[in-house]
Structure 1
């Protein structure tokens, strides 16, 4: 179902209040500061499996998600902005990036950010549950507020896929919608991860070690016996070195592995890649199904069966 909202449907004195409510319900709780006295804004929202695709246009505006709004209305979604007209400055953490027409960037609803549209703009926004992208790019957090140029080959591909997804409309079959959202996420992640590989050229030896360990764990998610000793043996790296490498990223190898198992199980269920919850659990290295269900609910706030029910 496509939902449309427009400030033209309400009286001028209440337009800002109306628009802020639309933005908060559609995306995430933010503060809205119009830069034009005559607020004129429209958005069409399309369901795309577990993802959401929207086409939004507005007069000049600044949106800010603060620590206070995060406390009051937590969200773990990742959002991708594709500019169709105008420009936007996206600031998050210690980065700020300016996007023009065709350019793309990700930002994280779990951390403060600001979007500054200095002029009339139009953009496409893809909102993903974090596990959909985290299962594809394990270090997705490092990719926020990085520009993927709309003029690059991969940027042009992402532009084409997202624009065509809007024109395609909403599939009547929920399973097709889920599979389509997964395909879009695949293409987005290939393009965005390419940006990551270009930006991370620091300590190549340390980077090579931790990437090799992560790749091994991803390739063996279904092995319930994975532990530090086995990982160290297979990767020919001392256990203490593994602890040090992951500590530099603020985590541990086993906690990272656990997060990837949960994110991947979410992806398998949400995109209809498995037919039973037990299949997702086994594929991701969970042998105790009750434990899996409890961990899944704690991580995502829903039980795994609820994702399957949406598709059947």
Structure 2
């Protein structure tokens, strides 16, 4: 028998068919199969905090596959991080294969085909979130899909225990601090990814360290309404032309990156129950939007709804 908790206190699934349905409700569309249909067992526990979902899966051997046809149905790309807690899993994406054992983690991109194979009984924790919540260039993050990262050393030794503790206390995500804890998890993961990228890319990419410092400077100064290319270039002793070229290599612009980061911070604050009493205009101003009407327009253009509409959904 399999128990699945899917946005509700309890829901019981009696067989593999119900397990597969539970997986599809918890994640993006997937093909799920098993050779153990007659004796299948498993459990899903899922809680969402804002746009971030954390799911603990305990199950019999099975396979999942994300195909191009299923990807075409999706409305936006997400990242998923698997934290292996017991058993073994094999993740394949982008021509790479990662064998995951307890304490290992791996990232994968729902916007590209992947497969996961579990050949024995297992337990894993899956963190799923929109890709824009990772403030690193997607082409660099793409170098880490299906790459085994250890949770027993370095930054991983901080991040994985935090995720495991959060997974063991999923009910806390439904509390007023749940959204903040979920975002803390993504922030910690981003730090882990940045560390991995520094190790692998710093020597090969002379612009990598400079871009890391520039992005950090932008994030630290988003509240300044005068933040712009001239100021950023001067702070880093480069020309504005060089600065624009760096961002062009990343497929964006300086102004576009600043706007995206400001909007992401505003959206996070608008979804935070602890900030429900703060006026929308005050949140916009906190992150550098001095014109409330302009903020409302660009927010709707980016997310398809008004700031007040998003706040109402989160309440």
1:185 matched to 2:183? The reply is: no
Query: C-alpha distance in 1, partners of 2:280/2:224?
Result: 17
Of the three residues 295, 298, 304, the one matched with 1:295 is 298
Which residue of structure 2 aligns with residue 280 of structure 1?
283
Task: State the TM-score, normalized to the length of structure 2.
Answer: 0.82
8 Å Cα contact 2:176/2:274 also seen in 1: no
Partner of 1:24: 24
Matched, 1:128 2:129: yes
Instruction: Identify if the C-alpha distance between structure 1 residues 205 and 84 changes in structure 2 by more than 3 Å, giving closer, same or farther.
Output: same
- Within 1, Cα distance between the matches of 2:130 and 2:21? 21
Q: In 2, are the aligned partners of 1:50 and 1:181 still within 8 Å (CA)?
A: no
The 1:96/1:295 distance shift into structure 2, 3 A limit, reads farther
Distance of aligned partners of 1:299 and 1:117 in 2 relative to their CA distance in 1, 3 Å threshold: farther
Displacement of 1:283 after TM fit? 2.4
Query: Which deviations, in whole Å up to 9, do the C-alpha atoms of 1:59-105 show, x marking residues without a partner?
Result: 22222222221221323332221111222222333443221111112
Structure-2 separation of matches of 1:80 and 1:298: 29
Gaps of 5+ in 2: 1-6
Q: How high is the TM-score relative to the length of structure 1? A: 0.83
1:207 positional shift: 1.7
Greater relative contact order (Cα < 8 A, sep 6+): 1
Q: Deviations over 1:236-274 (max 9, x none)?
A: 212332232223222222222222222222223334574
Contact 1:286 1:292 in 2 (8 A): yes
The 1:273–1:105 alpha-carbon spacing in structure 2 relative to 1, beyond 3 Å, is: farther
Cα distance, 1:147 vs structure 2: 2.7
The residue that corresponds to 1:138 in the other structure is 136
Compared with structure 1, are the counterparts of its residues 240 and 91 closer, same or farther at alpha carbon in structure 2 (3 Å cutoff)?
farther
